[in-house]
């Protein structure tokens, strides 16, 4: 690690700490109101795009609550795909889930698809991925918990093919407005979002600054 790497790592640690405290500082009742607005915007956008299958995260700690969105998808017959974390490899596998009863507490205590559920077949990954984050910026930059799960998921599924993709998907960060920062530091392996949804509505991320990883 160079001096610059160490500085960046320390800066990211500090940003994570402050992003968590901003999120924790939103009163729980307000968090639910904001979450419900964000889920509403996300749902309306899904209706416009017509995507019949979506990947969503199940919230933990003070994260934006995606459960209203998940339930709405189930009611409307949209397939809901949730990740299962494999801490030893750093990978996430994707599993279609049809009710809360198919979840069990996973790594980090986050509810995740039970081990018995089979993984989504290669080639039928969802065209929309809703992504959690501690902070985002208008370019689509994202700061997560620092384990690289979503970066690795994208790298694995977008695969080695230079042209990009067997798996074409729109990556959508879901966040409280207070989580949008001027600039989140990004490294070569970090996945950019295509869109952000906050209580204020939809933000299409700008392509500038995405570099060679842009889709």
* 189 binds ligand ATP, rule: CB under 6 A: yes
**One residue of 8, 12, 41, 71 binding ligand ATP per CB under 6 A:** 12
Our finding on whether 85 is near ligand FFO (CB under 6 A) is yes
Q: Compute the distance between CA of residue 195 and CA of residue 45 in angstroms, rounded to an integer.
A: 11
- Name the binder of 152 from ligand ATP, ligand FFO, none, CB < 5-8 A by kind: ligand ATP
> In the complex with ligand ATP, which residue's Cβ is closer, 100 or 108?
108
- From ligand ATP, ligand FFO, none, interface partner of 85 (C-beta below 5 to 8 A by class): ligand FFO
Print burial letters for 115-138: b (CB count within 10 Å at least 16), e (below 16): eebeebeeeebbebbbbbbbbbbb
Applying CB under 6 A, the span of 116-124, 142-150, 158-166, 194-202 interacting with ligand FFO comes to 142-150
What are the Cα distances from residue 171, in Å, to 1, 102, 128, 174, 214? Answer: 30, 25, 6, 10, 12
Among 63, 112, 125, 190, binds ligand ATP (CB under 6 A): 190
- Which one, 47 or 90, has the nearer CB to ligand FFO? 90
145 binds ligand ATP (CB under 6 A): yes
Residue of minimal Cβ distance to ligand FFO: 145
CB of 67 to ligand FFO, least distance (A): 11
Q: Is 145 annotated as a binding residue?
A: yes
Token pair listed for 147: 């384990």
Q: Which two tokens stand for residue 33?
A: 């109101």
> E-strand spans in 127-193?
128-131, 135-136, 142-143, 170-174
Is 132 near ligand FFO (CB under 6 A)?
Answer: yes
Q: Which residues pair with 198 in a beta bridge?
A: 201
Q: Is 166 annotated as a binding residue?
A: no
CA atoms of 177 and 182, how far apart (whole Å): 12
φ/ψ region of 108 (left if φ > 0, alpha if ψ in -120 to 50, else beta) reads left
Residues that bind ligand ATP (CB under 6 A): 12, 143-152, 155, 187, 189-190
Binding-site residue positions: 12-16, 58, 63, 142-150
């Amino acid at each position: 690690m160079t001096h610059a790497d160490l500085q960046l790592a320390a800066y990211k640690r500090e940003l994570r700490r402050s992003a968590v405290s901003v999120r924790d500082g939103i009163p729980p009742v307000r968090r639910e109101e904001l979450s419900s607005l964000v889920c509403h915007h996300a749902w309306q956008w899904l209706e416009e795009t017509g995507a019949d299958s979506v990947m969503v995260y199940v919230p933990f700690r003070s994260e934006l609550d995606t459960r209203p969105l998940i339930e709405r998808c189930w009611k409307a017959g949209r397939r809901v795909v949730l990740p299962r974390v494999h801490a030893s490899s750093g990978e996430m596998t994707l599993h279609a889930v049809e009710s809360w009863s198919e979840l069990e507490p996973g790594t980090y205590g986050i509810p995740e698809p039970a081990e018995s559920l089979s993984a989504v077949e290669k080639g039928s990954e969802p065209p929309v991925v809703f992504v959690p984050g501690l902070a985002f910026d208008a370019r689509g930059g994202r700061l997560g918990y620092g384990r690289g799960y979503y970066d690795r998921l994208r790298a694995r599924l977008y695969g080695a093919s230079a042209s990009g993709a067997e798996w074409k998907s729109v990556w959508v960060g879901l966040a409280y407005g207070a989580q949008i920062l001027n600039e989140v530091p990004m490294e070569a392996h970090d996945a950019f979002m295509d869109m952000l949804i906050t209580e204020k509505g939809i933000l299409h991320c700008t392509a500038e600054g995405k570099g060679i990883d842009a889709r």
